[in-house]
Amino acid sequence: MKRFIFPLIDLFTMRQLPHLLKFTRLEKMSIEQIREFQLSKLRENMIADNWDSFFSLPITSKKDLPLRPNGENEEYHQHETSGSTGEPRIIWVPKDTWYRKDAIFMRSWTRIGRKSGDRVLRLMAGEPKYRIYDWWRDVYPWNYRRIDQDAINYCLKVKPKFIHGPGGAIRQLIELLLEKGYSEFVSQLTIEWCSESSQGHKQRLEKVVKSFNEQYGLAELPTVGSPDGEGNIRVVMEQGVVEILDDNDKPCEEGQEGFIVVTDFNNTVTPIVRYKSGDRGKIKKYKNSKGVEYFIIYDIIGRGVDYYNGPEVKKPIGWSIVSPISHILGDVIEKWRVEVRPKARKVFLYVKFIDNLNQDFSLLSSYSEWIYQNYGLETEYRFLEDEIYDIYFKNKLVKVIV
């Protein structure tokens, strides 16, 4: 019944299905045909008239992003990053773009094997805002900041075949399920690991779940690449332009590592144009089993969060240890990383203050209190070096030293 009624529900609410149908058509096109589509979108939103003018545009970074949304008469959503990049940020996106992103998620679930009626547990930031709509499409949302016994109970009640969400939250949920003795349930799960570096986690999880799949995105361009169903991360050319550039902002050869640079040609509220994310990676052409050629992005070096659960901590160290930073310290610090030494019962927070004239660690006391209440550890603060780019800083946002 749901699959017949859901299109009507969607028609009068989110209108994601038209995006999904469009993306399904586009993904069957050649690379050259999709480039023509990209160029039409660049022209439509007055970003560039041709590829030469586009590639002559300057490279941008976080400091170039607007502090308030453009086009205040346009309906938009506010996306608050968790701060897990180490540099908290707020991004505004047009209302239509918000639904476009979700349609890309729906397509990726199909690629990794979802059939009609298969349930998806979606871990998301904050409390769910459209549960009824999700119910009609067999999606069951859960706030990923609450990975606890209630999350276990909900997961077992829903009985999903797929789990989609931030990697750190998925790791914590899977570990908790295993700890509670639900290894058989876990072995039937297909997971879509989003955003965070899977280094170390993939080796652990792919042994205990049915299928491990990865998506790569940013707060600035939520979906850069999504699973292709053949073990790769396919560049979502229908959503934006993705470039790999060297240290001199010149194009890298195919298969050569460089900075990941993205352009969202749909976002007129927070323009994201030739934006250097700080992450690094490689791109190459790939021909799938159906003979369709497209780009895949791989060997991504980005944010990483260690996992640890031992007797020294009240609850597991993972993604959740960074979740409050942007919310309680976001107006004080602009960059940070966390080092945990559980044997010493210490958390070291390395920070760079926004105001160089007011570098007072006492301004961070609320985080110390939160860490002690939630993990039972003491916090010490240290200054973070002011580097232009440090690949190791980005690659290990939360480091656990045992």
| pLDDT band at residue 196 using 50, 70 and 90 as cut-offs | confident
User: Tokens in use for 95?
Assistant: 């209302």
153 & 290 share domain: yes
Distance in angstroms (rounded) separating the CA atoms of residues 181 and 95: 42
259 & 364 share domain: no
371 & 297 share domain: no
247 & 336 share domain: no
Containing structural domain, residue 180: 2-301
In a domain, 350, yes or no: yes
Q: Residue 177: how many CA atoms within 13 Å on its side-chain side? A: 25
Largest CA distance in the chain: 63
Q: Which residue's structure tokens are 């550890």?
A: 377
Domain boundary among 301, 333, 360: 301
In a domain, 308, yes or no: no
In a domain, 311, yes or no: no
In a domain, 275, yes or no: yes
- Per DSSP, what are the bridge partners of residue 131? none
CB 316 within 8 A of CB 398: no
CB 202 within 8 A of CB 191: no
In a domain, 313, yes or no: no
323 & 297 share domain: no
228 & 335 share domain: no
Any idea how long the chain is? 402
Contacts of 44 (CB under 8 A, 6+ apart): 265
In a domain, 257, yes or no: yes
Distance in angstroms (rounded) separating the CA atoms of residues 20 and 29: 15
25 & 153 share domain: yes
In a domain, 220, yes or no: yes
> For the purposes of burial, counting CB atoms within 10 Å of the CB of 101, is it exposed (0-12), middle (13-18) or buried (19 or more)?
buried
Distance in angstroms (rounded) separating the CA atoms of residues 240 and 196: 20
Note the pLDDT of residue 3. Answer: 83
pLDDT in tens, 204-216: 999 999 999 999 9
How far is the CA of 93 from the CAs of 20, 75, 262, 366, in angstroms? Answer: 18, 9, 15, 31
Say whether pLDDT at 336 is over 90.
no
pLDDT mean over 360-387: 90
> Which comes out higher in pLDDT, residue 18 or 396?
18
| pLDDT band at residue 78 using 50, 70 and 90 as cut-offs | confident
Separation of CA 213 from chain center:
13
In a domain, 306, yes or no: no
290 & 328 share domain: no
Instruction: Provide the CATH number for the domain around residue 126.
Output: 3.40.50.12780
Distance in angstroms (rounded) separating the CA atoms of residues 146 and 126: 9
- For the chain, the domain total comes to 2
Domain boundary among 235, 266, 301: 301
Domain boundary among 274, 301, 328: 301
Say whether pLDDT at 84 is over 70.
no
Separation of CA 284 from chain center:
21
288 & 165 share domain: yes
Instruction: Provide the CATH number for the domain around residue 327.
Output: 3.30.70
343 & 287 share domain: no
| pLDDT band at residue 73 using 50, 70 and 90 as cut-offs | low
pLDDT mean over 286-309: 92
Distance in angstroms (rounded) separating the CA atoms of residues 46 and 41: 8
CB 161 within 8 A of CB 188: yes
328 & 372 share domain: yes
Note the pLDDT of residue 1. Answer: 79
242 & 380 share domain: no
